[in-house]
Amino acid sequence: MQAKSVLAALFAITAASPVFAQSAPATKTVSDSQAQYIQARNAGEIPTSVAAYPQAPAAAPSKVTREQVMAEFYAARKAGQIPQTEADFDVAQTRHQVAK
């Protein structure tokens, strides 16, 4: 029975392979692409240096100090809200943590 399944799978693969071997004809040549690039570069549409790239917006400064963040972290860990090691992780509770 398994030999028939293997033979059927091989037949399906070899029958479908010529279909996937054909590719769509290229409508744009390399010289067309190069000409389009040169035209965009000469028009100033392509950045030519690091200074020409748009800058990422700066992050807003934090309103809490590092000491405040660390104090919150230690309080949460002491209350048992943050596991200290992987051994503290309850494997039996993983079904509650799966994304829904």
pLDDT of amino acid 88: 65
Per-residue pLDDT tens digits for 1-14: 566 666 666 666 66
Burial class (CB in 10 A: 0-12, 13-18, 19+), 53: exposed
Per-residue pLDDT tens digits for 25-76: 668 889 999 999 999 988 888 877 777 777 778 888 889 999 999 999 999 9
Contact 58, 51 (CB under 8 A): no
pTM of the predicted structure, to 2 decimals? 0.31
Q: pLDDT category, 99, cuts 50, 70, 90? A: low
Element (H, E) at 69: helix 66-78
Give the residue carrying structure tokens 């799978």. 9
